[in-house]
Structure formats: C-alpha cells, structure tokens
Chains A and B, each alone.
Chain A
Amino acid sequence: MSSRADQQGAGAATWTAAEMMTIAAARALPDGATCLVGIGLPSTAANLARRVHAGGLVLVYESGTIGSKPEYLPLSIGDGILAETADTVVGIVEIFNYWLQPGRIDVGFLGAAQIDRFANINTTVIGPSYASPTVRLPGAGGAPEIAASCREVIIVTRQTRERFVERLDFVTSFGHGAGGDERRRLGLRGGGPAAVITDLGVLEPDPVTRELVLTHVHPGVTPADAQAATGWELRLAPTVETTPPPTEEELRVLRELEAARPAAAR
C-alpha cells in the first residue's frame, strides 16, 4: 500500500494526500451554493473553493455567521473574522431553526471519527459502552440536524480501518441508515450523504441500495489501497476513475491559505 505521506506527482507539481483530500472536497462545492461549514478541513476546503472556482459560495457557520468571507482560516467557528466579514450574524436558535431546519442550506460539510458503509457517523464515543467509553469524543454538535436537513451532505475524513468500520460504536448522525429508502421512511427531508471524500479517493452511495461505492481514487492510489483501509468489503464502481490531479492554482491558493493561518491554527 502506498504511504499516505508520499508525495504524489512529479517535479514542481507535487502534493500530499492531505492536500489532495482538501482539494477534492473543495471541488465538490458548486458556485452559488449555500454551505454549512464545520471547522478544520471543511472550512479550509470551503475557503479554497471560494477562491478558486466558486466565488459565489455562501459560507454559513453554525455560530450564526451567514455569508462569511474570512481573509484567513479561522481556528474556531466563532472567530471574530467570521462575524466581521458576514452578510449577517444571527443567534444560535435562529441559525438552526430558521436557516438549517427548513432546508435552506444546500451542502452540509461534516467530519467523522467513525463511518459505516451507509455513511452513518459516530462522533460520540469509541468502545462498546456509552456510559464508560474507551474514548470520549466531543459529541454531536450541530451534526445530527445538519445531516438531516441539508439538501446534501459531504463527509470529509481520512480513510483507515479504525475509522471505516463494519459497525459504529454509536450512531450520532444518521446517514442512509440500513440503506435503501430508510431516510424517506423516517421522514427526513434532506438528501443525506452524497459523497465521502478521503485521502485515498471518493465514495458515493449507490442510487438504490445507498451503500457507499468507491468511484474515484486519487492519483497514485489503487482500489486495493482503499479496500485495505476499509473495515468492510468495499464495493467498487464498474470503472473506478482517477481524480484529476491538483492544478497549480489549487495548490498555490491552498498553500497560501495554510501559510497565512494564525500560528496557533496550524
């Protein structure tokens, strides 16, 4: 298996697996969409998209800032720069009840500590017992309702066997449940996870069964690498495409963003 720290590409145009993941996530955001952004990689990807191909992307942070245009990457979802550059700032009750719940947000961007084959997410506990967990994670935050109510959800996370598990220790945020039309049967209005973007490739739900299917691998990664990093028998698309490599512009802008980040946020 190729090491994920490997530099890919040749000559001046080399990049890391983490950079490829961020760039692939940025590409998934269409210009003009409204996007609810979590901190960390989703925020980096959304800010990259806004600078490269999606100048009209509307960034919404769950702290209540709508239309934030930060000049640098914030450390938290409540940094002052997000409020100062926003079109409007609203309270927390309003951001969830008026803006997220009725389906006004196109794309919800989530991370995952554990994910299963139907893109259900665990960010609560690792270990068999909720009451006395092996590892206590931060918890739900906004994710259950973001996963429920956005038109679609994009999940960004590194792909390892510890994360991509056969069975979640806890379902924090509902993806496609046990598959098929379970979301519709439960009355969920949003479309649920549309893509899982990792440092190895892209997984998308089968249109009928909703099981995740490997549709893309990043340059230098093989489907066998992706299978080895997955805790269940990974389904492959009839043709697994290779993600187009990062463009010079994507790499330059991403690196400028990272370099301009306040020291504490690096």
Chain B
Amino acid sequence: MTRPPTQIVPLQEAIAKIVRDGDTVALEGFTHLIPTVAGQEIIRQGRRDLTLVRMTPDIVYDQMIGMGCARRLVFSWGGNPGVGSLHRFRDAIEHGWPGPLELEEHSHAGMANRYAAGASGLPFAVLRGYVGSDLVTHTPSIKEVTCPFTGEVLSAVSALELDVAVIHAQQADTAGNVQLWGIVGVQKEAVLCGRRALVTVEEVVETLEPRPGAIVLPHWAIDYVSVVPNGAHPSYTHDYTQRDNDFYVAWDAISRDRNTFTRWMEDHVLSG
C-alpha cells in the first residue's frame, strides 16, 4: 500500500482533493491543536452528508453542523469546554436544524480504543468500559466479548473507519515529515486510521529538531501537508500560539441564535 509522495500544497487544494461528499472525516485535536481552519475550508467548499468523527466536537464542529455539512456525528463529548453548551449541535439534535443529525455516541475511553483499533488494522478493541451505562443500548458499535483466556466478559468497540483524517501540528519538514508536541491527544491514531490524511502546520522547516514527548509522523503516512499559521484558532499550538479563551466565551453568544450564527459565518468564514 505505497502512497504517492506527500505533497505540500495550499489548504484549498488539499481539501478539494481529499474530502468528498458523504465521506467519514475526523478533524482531531483534544482541546489543543484543533484543525479549525481546515474545517472552515470544508465549509467553504460546501461539502455535504459528512459523517464527522471526533472525541470532543467543539467550535469548528458546531460551525460545520450549523452550516449543514454533517449528516452524522460520532463522538464522546460535545460541549464548549469550560463555557457550556454547543448551541448548533444542540439545535440540530433537539430541533433538527438545519437538518437532522444522527448520533453514534461513546465514552472517551471507547473512542480512543476505536481509533487504536483502526490504526492497528484490527476490527475491534477491548476495554473495561460502559458497564451499567445506557450508552450500550443506544450505540450498536458497543458489544460484549468474552476473553478466550479467562472467560471474563469485557466490552468490545468496533474500529473506526475513516476516509479522511485531518490534524494540525507545529511543524513539517520539506519532505513532509510532521512533528507535534504538547498535549498530543489521539491525533497519531487518527492519522493512521485515515485512508487519506492531511496535516496543517504552523510552518515548514528544513529539519525537524527532536523534542521531548513529541510525536513524529513519517511523510509516507501522510498525503498532504498545508501551511496554515494559527490554523488551530481559537484552540492553540503549543510554543506557537495562545488559546483564545475569550473567543470560546464569545462563541456562546454568537452561536445561540440561528440568524446571528449564520451572519457571523457569512462575515468571518464564507467570505474568507
């Protein structure tokens, strides 16, 4: 399964080549390194019927849901961290606006293991999880499995199958090798789960300098790299940008009302 060499291209071109209507797409990032600008490019290109996957859908998924990109959401926690509700996510589920949103709902441990299974090329993962939770009755991708060695009954979760994984990172080198550090979340697993993968980066450097605790993804695991400075805003990129906490708070008022939201998106994203 040789991939063609990694291409370093503008974001618009990368999204046009990698994301198609109906795809299953994960833009991962656990409060840090959220690929917000890439998600906004998907909105601008008018993609529809996407299955969006993410452990912690936050502002960019609220925007994609509110702009009608998503048919289905696979997730484990949907909120505005430290602030409260995601109003577009809630409006879609509670009132079907702008369209109905199917849910496939897990816990964090379950989602993390689904990514790990997908990255490992396995059909499912095993965990001690979900015991006594009503999630089991609503989510068909959670089942029981009996350990063949001990007979213990455990939970199994099916592997995630992604058409596209998108993440944001600090750096790529000129060959397309990528390095990210700080809170690294589940991004490595997400990239290795994706049939196609795009990484937006703060900058391209000649040579990656090793950093403690960093993850390096080799270029042959990645299809496209795009340079997008501050591409995680209002999230942040450790050692490059600060988390814009004020914007997370401001989003509550922007997103609460459908018209205010739509106008804001027209002014700040669609015209971008």
A91 to B213, CA, bound (A): 10
CB distance from A182 to the nearest CB of B (A): 8
A65 to B75, CA, bound (A): 21
> Is the beta-carbon distance between B128 and A149 smaller than 8 angstroms?
yes
5 closest Cβ contacts across the A-B interface?
Answer: A78-B31, A174-B132, A264-B245, A138-B79, A76-B81
Of listed B32, B106, B131, residue having the most chain A CB within 10 A = B131
A198 to B248, CA, bound (A): 28
**Which residues of the partner chain B approach A91 to less than 8 Å between Cβ atoms?**
184-186, 188-189, 215
> Is the beta-carbon distance between A78 and B246 smaller than 8 angstroms?
no
> Is the beta-carbon distance between A138 and B94 smaller than 8 angstroms?
no
Q: Mark B113-124, 1 if CB is under 8 A from A, else 0.
A: 101100000000
A80's partner among B130, B135, B238 (CB-CB below 8 A) is B238
Of listed B56, B75, B89, B127, residue having the most chain A CB within 10 A = B56
B183 at the interface (CB under 8 A from A): yes
> Is the beta-carbon distance between A89 and B135 smaller than 8 angstroms?
no
A177 at the interface (CB under 8 A from B): yes
Query: What are 29 A-B interface contacts by the 8 Å CB criterion?
Result: A39-B81, A63-B30, A64-B185, A75-B82, A75-B248, A76-B31, A91-B185, A96-B108, A96-B113, A97-B113, A97-B116, A97-B127, A100-B109, A134-B94, A136-B89, A136-B94, A138-B79, A138-B85, A140-B77, A142-B77, A145-B127, A148-B131, A149-B128, A172-B133, A188-B131, A189-B128, A264-B248, A264-B249, A265-B82
Known: A135-B94, A187-B152. A140 touches B108 (CB 8 A): yes
CB distance from A17 to the nearest CB of B (A): 21
**Which residues of the partner chain B approach A220 to less than 8 Å between Cβ atoms?**
none
Tally of contacts, chain A with chain B, CB under 8 A: 179
**Which residues of the partner chain A approach B175 to less than 8 Å between Cβ atoms?**
none
**Which residues of the partner chain B approach A207 to less than 8 Å between Cβ atoms?**
none
Known: A78-B32, A140-B133, A172-B134. A92 touches B128 (CB 8 A): no
A171 at the interface (CB under 8 A from B): yes
**Which residues of the partner chain B approach A173 to less than 8 Å between Cβ atoms?**
133
A177 to B131, CA, bound (A): 10
A74 to B243, CA, bound (A): 11
Of listed B132, B138, B153, B249, residue having the most chain A CB within 10 A = B132
Residue of A nearest to B77 (CB): A141
> Is the beta-carbon distance between A78 and B81 smaller than 8 angstroms?
yes
A64 to B83, CA, bound (A): 21
> Is the beta-carbon distance between B108 and A62 smaller than 8 angstroms?
yes
Q: Mark A81-101, 1 if CB is under 8 A from B, else 0.
A: 011000011011100110011
Residue of A nearest to B131 (CB): A186
B229 at the interface (CB under 8 A from A): no
**Which residues of the partner chain B approach A140 to less than 8 Å between Cβ atoms?**
76-77, 105-108, 133, 135
A263 to B185, CA, bound (A): 26
Interface residues of A (CB under 8 A from B): 39-40, 62-65, 74-80, 82-83, 88-89, 91-93, 96-97, 100-101, 120, 124, 130, 132-136, 138-145, 148-149, 170-174, 177, 182, 186-189, 262-265
A63 to B85, CA, bound (A): 19
B55 at the interface (CB under 8 A from A): yes
Interface residues of B (CB under 8 A from A): 30-32, 55-56, 75-79, 81-83, 85-86, 89-90, 93-94, 105-109, 112-113, 115-116, 127-135, 138, 152-153, 182-186, 188-189, 213, 215, 236, 238, 242-243, 245-246, 248-249
> Is the beta-carbon distance between A148 and B189 smaller than 8 angstroms?
no
A248 to B109, CA, bound (A): 40
A139's partner among B77, B83, B94, B109 (CB-CB below 8 A) is B77
CB distance from B13 to the nearest CB of A (A): 30
Known: A133-B93, A138-B77. A101 touches B128 (CB 8 A): yes
**Which residues of the partner chain B approach A88 to less than 8 Å between Cβ atoms?**
213
A144's partner among B89, B94, B133, B243 (CB-CB below 8 A) is B133
**Which residues of the partner chain B approach A120 to less than 8 Å between Cβ atoms?**
132
